[in-house]
Structure 1
Amino acid sequence: MTDSFTLTSGNVPLLISMPHNGHAIPDDIAATMTDDGRSSRDTDWFKDKLYDFAQALGAYTISPTYSRFVIDLNRDTAGTNLYPGANSTELCPTTAFDLAPLYQDGKQPNAEEVDRRIALYWQPYHQALAATLTEMKAKFGVAVLLEAHSIQSHVPRFFEGRLPDFNFGTADGASCSPAMLQAVENLDLMPYSRTTNGRFKGGFITREYGDPENNIHALQLELSQITYMDEQALTYNEELAKKVKPKLKAMVEALISFAQQAKT
């Protein structure tokens, strides 16, 4: 089902994955949802616009068609909580970040429906992701995966207060080499605030595919949406975006530079 994602090839060993950028919902699923569910409002909005410079730099990109409300591509199909003890969303979320129900009463996805969505939407994305990293490793001797995410600046369900602007995650150092993390830590991101391996340490994709011993390195960036959009209206703000995009471009260039130096 190649219509469930878009994959573009590049010529440098960097793949940018945007697993929460999709916002479409199939009609059969939408018919069971509440208005909140059909809104897809917890999308990582406009990641494709924020990273529209990436292809010119030679990066590979992959992005899904469908909303995280259909199935969350950054969750384990086993249903493991990424942050034990935290009130995290499920593989097929039943509530929004603000705990609003996504489904009409009695119409939440059952186990059979979850399995159907895994087969139709989750597996194709992950098969393409894994195959692309394997291809890059074979071609370049190294592969770097950037997990490009964004989130509202205030989400009480997950954290208190305002989230830092740039939230990097490397599974506490397990998903990439110290040298790659240092390249990112050396970036001048001012005036934006930043943290590494704070509340967000990298989701399932970062933890699953990052394999620095095999020269496959993964980094997640959770960017606060207040840096580039109107969070209430869910609209892109060109003036804000043109200020943060140079920082994102510098980050991508640093990852490409690391990858080119790390070739085996």
Structure 2
Amino acid sequence: MTNLPSGSPVFDFHPGHAPVLLTLPHSGTDLPPGMAARMTPYGRQLPDTDWYIDQLYTGPACERGIGVIRARYSRYVVDLNRGADDAVLYPGRPSTGLVPNLAFDGTPIYQAGQEPDQNEIHDRTTAFWKPYHDAVGQELERLKQQHGWAVLWDGHSIQTHIPRLFEGRLPDLNIGTNSGASCDRRLQDRIAAHAKSLSGYTHVVNGRFRGGYTTRHYGQPDRGFHAVQMEIAQSTYLQHEDAPWPLDETAFRRLSTTMAGFLDTVLDWTPQVR
């Protein structure tokens, strides 16, 4: 049984004044006491982390008055971009799970017999998942009260090739709006037009990644809440996509500027008054 943290925050929150909230659910690498001892050597490397994604976004976001909620703990503790009911997001594909036992490539995360049981999954959901989503929901409500609308930008990255999860090579920039249901179509069109204007990056809208729980749950444009997921292929900023996941400094700086451009595109948008 993994011990749960006592008194330490499970996420970092930097409030902003703009009508945009940046969420980073998979950039954390902390593990609660006792968990690492139960994991395989491969699992302890945390290979499915969204490496450096907080460094990519946080500076540009804070400079623009955009609030940031960043998870501290690994997605292997509990995946904050899955529903508490662990509903399947992509039918017909392997589910990565609310509390995963397998890495994306199918390698076990835990030593045999050390996998969390249902009671532990419940406890982790209560200790990590619930306070994070309580904070996201409350901040979106605050921003809507202040501005009349709110946009959630959910930032992610992933390996470019994961045959178990998708065929072939992932495009560089993967924009997800739950097939257009999670945000105003005019906002989606603006984001897509900006992506198309960029040189040196491939992109797709609602391709393999259409948005996880965060995008699908909070994106309610009829209520003034708009949500977009950006899944970035890690080949755009890493020297290679294996441990220790070394950063390509030049590519990273260029990509950070690119993401700042997307944030500006969202900030420049205003919903039409009905």
1:19 and 2:25 correspond = yes
Alpha-carbon shift at residue 262 of structure 1 (Å)? 2.5
Aligned residue in 1 for 2:227: 218
Aligned residue in 2 for 1:74: 81
CA distance in 2, matches of 1:238, 1:10: 28
Equivalent residues in 2 for 1:1-264, closer than 5 Å: 3-51=9-57, 52-187=59-194, 188-230=197-239, 231-232=241-242, 233-258=244-269, 261-262=270-271
Alpha-carbon shift at residue 2 of structure 1 (Å)? 5.9
CA distance in 2, matches of 1:237, 1:246: 14
Secondary structure, aligned partner of 1:229: coil
Would you say the 8 A contact 1:2–1:124 is kept in 2? no
Secondary structure, aligned partner of 2:21: strand
CA distance in 2, matches of 1:37, 1:43: 11
- 1:135-179 deviations in whole A, cap 9, x for unaligned? 100111110000000001111111111100000000000000011
CA distance in 1, matches of 2:198, 2:19: 24
Would you say the 8 A contact 1:141–1:263 is kept in 2? no
The TM-score normalised by the length of structure 2 is: 0.93
Alpha-carbon shift at residue 8 of structure 1 (Å)? 0.6
CA distance in 2, matches of 1:119, 1:155: 30
CA distance in 2, matches of 1:235, 1:256: 32
The TM-score normalised by the length of structure 1 is: 0.96
Secondary structure, aligned partner of 2:110: coil
Alpha-carbon shift at residue 37 of structure 1 (Å)? 1.8
Secondary structure, aligned partner of 1:222: strand
Would you say the 8 A contact 1:25–1:38 is kept in 2? no
Q: Give, as a single letter, the amino acid of the residue that structure 2 aligns with 1:8.
A: H
Q: Give, as a single letter, the amino acid of the residue that structure 2 aligns with 1:4.
A: V
What's the Cα RMSD here? 1.2
Runs of 4+ in 1 over 6 A off after TM superposition: none
CA distance in 2, matches of 1:237, 1:24: 24
Secondary structure, aligned partner of 2:9: helix
Would you say the 8 A contact 1:142–1:263 is kept in 2? no
State the number of aligned residues.
262
CA distance in 2, matches of 1:78, 1:2: 25
Aligned residue in 1 for 2:4: none
Cα distance, 1:142–1:170 mapped onto 2, change above 3 Å: same
CA distance in 2, matches of 1:242, 1:59: 19
CA distance in 1, matches of 2:213, 2:24: 13
Secondary structure, aligned partner of 1:6: strand
Alpha-carbon shift at residue 183 of structure 1 (Å)? 1.0
Secondary structure, aligned partner of 2:80: coil
Would you say the 8 A contact 1:140–1:263 is kept in 2? no
CA distance in 1, matches of 2:198, 2:31: 35
Q: Which runs of 5+ in 1 are unaligned?
A: none
CA distance in 1, matches of 2:93, 2:126: 27
